[in-house]
Copies of this chain bind each other. A is one copy, B any other.
Amino acid sequence: MSGNTFGTLFRVTTFGESHGPALGVVIDGVPAQLDFDIDFIQSELDRRKPGQSAMTTARKEGDKVQILSGVFENKTTGTALAMVIFNGDQHSRDYSNIAETYRCGHADFTYDMKYGFRDYRGGGRSSGRETAARVAAGAVAKMILKQYGVSVTAGAISVGKVAGKKIDLTAPEKNIVRAFDGDMAEAMVKEVESARADGDSVGGVVGCFAHNVPAGLGEPVFDKLDALIAQAILSLGSVKGIEFGNGFEAAALRGSENNDEFLAGGKLATNRCGGVLGGISTGSTLEFRIAVKPTPSVSIAQKTVNKALEETVLEIKGRHDPCIVPRIVPVVEAMTSIVLCDLILRAKSDRMS
């Protein structure tokens, strides 16, 4: 598993398992002299942590971040910036049934196929808990982006079968499902509660908007803006799809309907392309949507196999998010911010002089 680093100049390396001693991240390439705001990092982690609301698992995780290196006198030094979040008490829970049985929809089986071995305590490295480290890194990226005027906002477009009807960028932080359409939030909450009552779960569609992205970001031909965003977002375990601008709808349109015309001054009249042409930002808002699958941990019995690959039946107990959508929102913002920050640094050598 040599895939724990992401980025070229703003390089993020995460480590840690859900039930190990700690999670953490090293960021290599943070420019020196950035004013460092640890409270902002903590506030971003708080947006992701469990137990925030009725929507999320009742597990309490403190998720207190500590800075181990790279900051001196409240400024970044230019050296590797390391942050760590120690995990709380890992009560000696009984994992014996999960240790021997592969949970449906989880990475238990594939980790074992790959490594011949797995950390069965709560998913180990494959746990969603790993994303806490990404959020901490994303918060640093956001601090840098702020200097360039760039902001990134994600939120829920739909939850289960309930879809919002509008995009209000101020809405997500005001309702517990983090919906862009505040008027539909209550219906979305009910959709989640109904699934939970059935011992089941629901997914949703999350949208992300990055404003004030300068034109010219993205490195053809493989590290295009949309390509790197796609890698960053699909590297989240519960994401099954992504689309930019018109996305899948574009497939059924004609070119004359799908093209964005230019206006005097170089602005685009529309943003069907989602802010990216030829893999490079246009200067318009970067827009994409992602498909979040329903949490695989359901207490409804499902057929599976044990380590000997014999059939068995598993009912997952314990406290799980019936819907991951509200908590994935800050993670999507974090990954998007990391990509944009890396590309801003890379763009510094686009031209001579």
Contact for A252 among B9, B160, B276, B283, CB less than 8 A: B160
Tell me the residues in window 99-151 of chain A with beta carbons closer than 8 Å to chain B beta carbons: 102, 104-107, 109-111, 113-119, 121, 124-126, 130, 144, 147
Q: Mark A222-236, 1 if CB is under 8 A from B, else 0.
A: 111011111111110
Q: Is the CB of A291 within 8 A of B69?
A: no
How far apart are the CA atoms of A304 and B270 in the complex, in Å? 12
How far apart are the CA atoms of A293 and B41 in the complex, in Å? 39
Q: Is the CB of B269 within 8 A of A79?
A: no
CB distance from A147 to the nearest CB of B (A): 6
Q: Mark A302-324, 1 if CB is under 8 A from B, else 0.
A: 11110001110000000000000
Q: Is A39 an interface residue (CB 8 A)?
A: no
Q: Is the CB of B245 within 8 A of A250?
A: no
Stretch at the interface among A13-21, A169-177, A180-188: A13-21
Q: Is the CB of A227 within 8 A of B222?
A: no
Q: Is A38 an interface residue (CB 8 A)?
A: no
Q: Is the CB of A293 within 8 A of B237?
A: no
Tell me the residues in window 1-41 of chain A with beta carbons closer than 8 Å to chain B beta carbons: 1-6, 8-11, 13-17, 20-24, 26, 28-29, 31-34
Q: Is the CB of A251 within 8 A of B24?
A: no
Q: Is the CB of A3 within 8 A of B75?
A: no
Tell me the residues in window 236-262 of chain A with beta carbons closer than 8 Å to chain B beta carbons: 237, 240-262
How far apart are the CA atoms of A262 and B314 in the complex, in Å? 11
Q: Is A347 an interface residue (CB 8 A)?
A: yes
How far apart are the CA atoms of A195 and B28 in the complex, in Å? 39
- Which residues of chain B come closer than 8 Å to A78, judged between CB atoms? 1, 111, 114-115, 117, 350-351
How far apart are the CA atoms of A248 and B157 in the complex, in Å? 12
Q: Is A62 an interface residue (CB 8 A)?
A: no
CB distance from A223 to the nearest CB of B (A): 3
Stretch at the interface among A44-52, A53-61, A201-209: A201-209
Q: Is the CB of A350 within 8 A of B215?
A: no
Q: Is A353 an interface residue (CB 8 A)?
A: yes
CB distance from A117 to the nearest CB of B (A): 5
Q: Is the CB of B279 within 8 A of A16?
A: no
Q: Is the CB of A234 within 8 A of B240?
A: no
Q: Is A326 an interface residue (CB 8 A)?
A: no
- Which residues of chain B come closer than 8 Å to A252, judged between CB atoms? 158, 160-161, 203
Interface residues of A toward B: which range? 35 or more
How far apart are the CA atoms of A108 and B232 in the complex, in Å? 26
Q: Is the CB of B227 within 8 A of A297?
A: no
CB distance from A110 to the nearest CB of B (A): 4
Q: Is the CB of A221 within 8 A of B3?
A: yes
> In the complex, what residue of chain B is closest to A81 when comparing beta carbons?
B15
Q: Is the CB of A26 within 8 A of B31?
A: no
Q: Is A292 an interface residue (CB 8 A)?
A: yes
Q: Is A193 an interface residue (CB 8 A)?
A: no
Q: Is A329 an interface residue (CB 8 A)?
A: no
- Which residues of chain B come closer than 8 Å to A295, judged between CB atoms? 255
How far apart are the CA atoms of A133 and B19 in the complex, in Å? 24
- Which residues of chain B come closer than 8 Å to A346, judged between CB atoms? 2, 9
23 contacts between A and B (CB under 8 A): A4-B221, A13-B28, A14-B80, A15-B70, A22-B69, A31-B349, A32-B117, A33-B351, A72-B119, A78-B115, A80-B125, A104-B259, A106-B278, A109-B282, A110-B279, A114-B215, A116-B351, A201-B256, A202-B255, A241-B241, A257-B294, A262-B305, A263-B305
